[in-house]
Amino acid sequence: MHFDIMVGSVLGASEYVAEAILVSIIDAGHTGECHFEPCVSALNKDNILLICTSTHGAGDLPDNIVAYAKALQHKDLNGFNAMIIGLGDSSYDTYCGAAMTMETLLVEKGVTLLSDPLHIDVLHHPIPEDIAVEWFVEQLDKVIGN
Ligand SMILES: Cc1cc2nc3c(=O)[nH]c(=O)nc-3n(C[C@H](O)[C@H](O)[C@H](O)COP(=O)(O)O)c2cc1C
């Protein structure tokens, strides 16, 4: 299986998470790519789409993933499979708002979510890649049976 990891990040934490997930994908015998400038040209129904995004502003998407999210609104994503990892800080009312925006968008466009999204509270998980990898390996087991 091939994973397209679409990263939304301002300060780099989500990039670290995406890179750690990619290592566990490869360790499990799969392939993948981190897209640090997400673009719809990478859309491929045969791959699993993994959104890995933080939230900024007041519940907003990071700037680097805004154009991608807008472009997805014009796509038919029926038949696509996805997973979502959100990073956020629970001291904000808009905790993990960007991950929730992406979830709503993907579901509206017909994407099947292979698991409930993971929301990582960086207040309690200062090294978010640890919990992300733990979760991902568990999901991989359930979803792909690897
Ligand atoms: C200016 C600013 C605004 C933020 N706004 C939110 C927010 O609305 N909701 C949330 O859950 N987290 C918010 N956060 C927390 C970030 O999502 C969190 O620090 C995350 O780890 C950053 O990931 P990144 O380095 O990939 O951008 C904010 C952080 C900053 C610095």
Residue written as token pair 């992300």: 132
- The tokens describing 30, both together, are 């799969």
Q: Calculate what percentage of the chain has a pLDDT beyond 90.
A: 95
Question: What pLDDT score was predicted for residue 99?
Answer: 98
pTM attached to this predicted model: 0.98
Positions of the chain with pLDDT under 50: 146
Question: What pLDDT score was predicted for residue 144?
Answer: 78
**2-140: CATH topology:** Rossmann fold (3.40.50)
Of all helices (H) and strands (E), which one includes residue 101?
helix 97-108
Q: Return the amino acid letter for 46.
A: D
Pocket around ligand 1 at a 6 A CB cut-off: 9-14, 54-59, 62, 87-89, 92, 94-97, 122
Half-sphere exposure of 117 (CA within 13 A, CB side): 25
Q: Return the amino acid letter for 127.
A: I
**pLDDT tens for each residue of 58-100:** 999 999 999 999 999 999 999 999 999 999 999 999 999 999 9
d(CA 76, CA 89): 32
Q: What is the atom index within ligand 1 of the atom nearest the CA of 95?
A: 11
